[in-house]
Amino acid sequence: MAFEWLKGHGTENDFVLLPDHDGSIHGPDLDPRFVASLCDRRRGIGADGVIRVIRSAALGQPSDGEWFMDYYNADGSLSEMCGNGVRVLVRHLIDDGLVSADQPIVIGTRDGDKIITLDAQNLVVDMGTPTVGDISKIAVDGHAWEAQDVRTGNPHAVAFVETLDDAGTLLTEPEYDHTVYPDGVNIEFVVRQAPQHVAMRVHERGSGETRSCGTGACAVGVATALADSASKPVTYRVDVPGGTVHVTWTADDHLLLAGPAQIVARGQMEWLL
């Protein structure tokens, strides 16, 4: 099977993009084995996930946006939303002249429509309204912490730790309460750096530790604001291993995620596996 591909990243959270505008190249759904092979960093292109660039109508998805982010985790499982991935998708659409950066861009996702604007070199995503749940427990190597449940398109468990080294290697998934997260969860480990400034590491369900997580940074912003009893609007700088993003919790209860996105490679390939 021959097809076009692109490689991009947002704060080093990297993705393979597959242009398939009318859905005629890759069929109605991507094969999970194909996705996992593409994402393999030794046998494939290597990425944290795959984004099919497809029109909403071609996928049969209800959306006010022309384009849909058909997103898959590195293991081939579907994901509702990816804050870094949607910026990379929009970067590609702008660079290739498929959308105009002069006005807000609407992208359909499995977590509903997202509105993206260009602000200087950053793309700003309106991630919508977060949902705050209860406190549960997460654990690594026998050490446990309380974790705040925050839903920002994906489920997150946010734990404040003394040092990011407390997360261990993150080569295996931390323990968590499966009754709270029956479909899995992204787990963030957070340390405070300064007022309204934190750093985090994340283990993403279906991908393992990644260099950044957009929905996770938003969840961390919410959890930190709650811990600080901060009044809205409030903005937090969130440092991730791959760079820095900024999360604003607005007065009308929306989350704005601001960060860079870049396309780094593209080509044609024939898949032989």
119/272: higher pLDDT? 119
Tell me, what's the pLDDT at 176? 98
- What is the distance of C-alpha 173 from the center of its chain? 18
Catalytic residues: 82, 213
67-107 confidence digits (pLDDT tens): 999 999 999 999 889 999 999 999 999 999 999 999 999 99
pLDDT band (50, 70, 90) for residue 215: very high
Tell me the mean pLDDT in the region 47-62: 96
234-259 confidence digits (pLDDT tens): 999 999 999 999 999 999 999 999 99
Q: How far apart are CA 100 and CA 90, in angstroms?
A: 10
3-state secondary structure the chain: CEEEEEEEEECCEEEEEEECCCCCCCCCCCCHHHHHHHHCCCCCCCCCEEEEEEEHHHHCCCCCCCEEEEEEECCCCECCCCHHHHHHHHHHHHHCCCCCCCCCEEEECCCCCEEEEEECCEEEEEEECCEEEEEEEEEECCEEEEEEEEECCCEEEEEECCCHHHHCCCCCCCEECCCCCCCCCEEEEEEEEECCEEEEEEEECCCEEECCCHHHHHHHHHHHHHHHCCCCCEEEEEEECCEEEEEEECCCCCEEEEECCEEEEEEEEECCC
Tell me, what's the pLDDT at 1? 73
115-148 confidence digits (pLDDT tens): 999 998 899 999 999 999 999 999 999 999 999 9
Q: How many CB atoms lie within 10 A of CB 152?
A: 29
13-35 confidence digits (pLDDT tens): 999 999 999 999 999 999 999 99
Domains, in order of start, for the chain: 2-128+260-270 (3.10.310.10), 131-253 (3.10.310.10)
**Burial classification of residue 220, based on how many CB atoms lie within 10 Å of its CB (0-12 exposed, 13-18 middle, 19 or more buried):** buried
- Give me the sign of the Cα torsion angle 201, 199, 126, 15: negative
Q: How far apart are CA 217 and CA 205, in angstroms?
A: 15
